[in-house]
Amino acid sequence: MHIVHVTSFFSASALSPSSAVRTRGIAYRAAGHEFSVIVPGTVASVAWTEYGTVVTVPARGAALRRGFVRIPFAIRRALDRLVPDRLEVADRLSFRQLGVWARENHVPAVLFADDVAADLATNKSWENYDRVVCGIHSATFTPAQCASANIVMMRPVVDLEIFTPLRHNSTLRDTSGADLIVVCAAPLTAAGSVSLAIDAIRELTDDGTDVHLVVLGDGPLRSRLERSAHGLPVQFLSARGLSLSERSEVFATADFALVTVDGSAGHAVAIEALASGTPVIMTGSTDHSFDFRDGSGVTTDADPAQIVHAVAVFSEKSVESRRRAARETALAFDAMPVSRAMVELHESLA
């Protein structure tokens, strides 16, 4: 069968496609199925990867300025060309229209609820989907709704082969010239809260800490954030320009990962960093499924002073112990068992 996954049209995600999508694609192909991913971009294109076909639909720049309304129709046109046997949707913008498209075209569909609107439970649109996948700590549905036969609970996952401490790059680290490297992967939007990371670096620098911040992400606020970071040791990298292995290299080379974005995007950042052997400092929401090993992670308020304190506490532990703890925390989120479960789920749908 041909399985098509639609993702990240509502806003630029911190990391897209995620390593979980890649692992699912590999599992689908190993089971003899075809896999395609539809993602937003500025120019229409098609690329072939080891996990499947990546189809880019224009939904950035001029295409976006023409209006959100047009984008779901563009996705539907892409689906008409791809002729999927199964549909996966992880997008707040288009999930309503794509659920209708799936019903009209008799295509069994799966919705990833954590990637759509928080009020999904009161919106009948989810009933157009044959299965709805929620994170195990998701508050989207009531316990009674979760007992429904078409709601499936699955934890966030990571590709442990791609994201590994073995991708630590000494040359990349030496290039920064700093004693401490912090990475913040988040969409460059108001929700991404990258300004919080910049404020924390400003405080660390003022305290005399030799630190270097790498901001990994894309979005409309990049110019404003670059101006805010002027004069500080801050480097901006486009997430779209990096392969998964290159992204892992950035995580594995850093000392800490600062997670400033909430929800499923924040979970994806955290587990990719942890799998790479990098402790995480999560700000804001405490709604996560991480049982942090000692030295592997902490949750703080969205306050630069608390972030600075967390960095100081982590720095007292040896590099080896905190990297080992981070990796051990991530082992519970191995993507392959969940990917195999997704294969079985799709094969069970009629």
Residues 145-160: tens digit of each pLDDT: 555 668 888 888 888 9
Residue 95 burial by Cβ neighbours in a 10 Å radius (0-12, 13-18, 19+): buried
User: Quick one: tokens of 220?
Assistant: 């409309």
Bridge-based pairing of strands 2-7 and 45-49 is unpaired
Give the closest residue to 125 by CA, choosing from 100, 146, 108: 100
Angle at 35 between CA 31 and CA 38, to 5 degrees: 160
Residue 143 has pLDDT above 60, yes or no: no
Q: What percent of the chain has pLDDT over 90?
A: 48
Distance CA(121)–CA(125), nearest Å, equals 9
pLDDT one-digit tens code per residue, 77-117: 999 999 999 999 988 888 889 999 999 999 999 998 877 76
Across residues 7-35, what is the average pLDDT?
79
pLDDT, mean over the chain: 85
Q: Which residue, 155, 156, 107, 154, is CA-closest to 129?
A: 107
> Residue 66: is its pLDDT beyond 70?
no
| pLDDT exceeds cutoff 90 at 240 | no
pLDDT tens by residue, 276-332: 999 999 997 655 667 888 888 888 989 999 999 999 988 888 999 999 999 999 999
Band of pLDDT at residue 13, cut at 50, 70 and 90? low
Whole-angstrom distance, CA of residue 264 vs CA of residue 186: 12
The predicted model gives 233-248 an average pLDDT of 86
| Burial grade of 240 (CB within 10 A; 0-12, 13-18, 19 or more) | middle
Higher pLDDT, 177 or 253: 253
Section 58-67 average pLDDT: 58
Q: What is the pTM of this model?
A: 0.84
Q: Inter-axis angle of helices 319-330 and 263-275, to 10 degrees?
A: 120
Q: How much is the pLDDT for 147?
A: 53
**Is the pLDDT assigned to residue 197 strictly greater than 90?**
yes
Residue 217's pLDDT is 86
pLDDT for 65 equals: 52
pLDDT at position 206? 94
Give φ, ψ of 241 to 5 degrees. Answer: -85, 0
Cα–Cα distance measured from residue 140 to residue 135, given in angstroms and rounded to the nearest whole number = 9
pLDDT of residue 139 exceeding 60:
no
